[in-house]
Amino acid sequence: MYDDVLIPTDGSEGVERSLEHAIPLAIHHDATVHALYVVDRRVANASSGDLHDEIVDDLETQGEEAVAAVAERAEEAGLDVETSVIHGTPDTEIVGYAEEAGIDVIVMSPEGKSPRERIRSLGSVSDRVTDDATVPVFLIK
């Protein structure tokens, strides 16, 4: 039923709770786990020049660490894993990745918010993913 499980990660504590549900789900279905981090271009574009490059580099490093943490947990459970760090708007990129990669279910926490969202209260990435995704989205509180 589920061959590919997407776990979007922002490195927050909410991801750990998502993994507690996503890993057993993937094991039960012998699914591949996809760990995805989106470098939020809105945060990166808020600066220019050397500061912009430094912010992007920092976000990419955070992203690599975040997907590596998900991959480690999935691999420890004996699952196949694919990791991606991409640039864009998180909700749009998560939905797009799900469609392009043939994802069957998205498992995520509604608690992680980007720094810009915390400042401007733009709403929840998970709310927008739930609204726009064409596959089931499991929100783990």
Burial environment of residue 51 by CB neighbours within 10 A (0 to 12, 13 to 18, 19 or more):
exposed
Question: What is each CA distance from 106 to 19, 62, 121, in whole angstroms?
Answer: 11, 21, 23
pLDDT value at residue 54: 87
- Structure tokens belonging to residue 21: 């549900």
Pair 114, 40: CB distance under 8 Å? yes
First to last CA, the chain: 24
Q: Which residue has the higher pLDDT, 13 or 37?
A: 37
Q: Domain-by-domain residue ranges, the chain?
A: 4-139
Q: What is the pTM of this model?
A: 0.89
pLDDT value at residue 93: 98
- Structure tokens belonging to residue 14: 């909410």
CATH number for the domain formed by residue range(s) 4-139: 3.40.50.620
Residue 16: pLDDT band with limits 50, 70, 90 = very high
Q: Helix, strand, or coil here: 103?
A: coil
The mean pLDDT of 91-112, rounded to a whole number, is 94
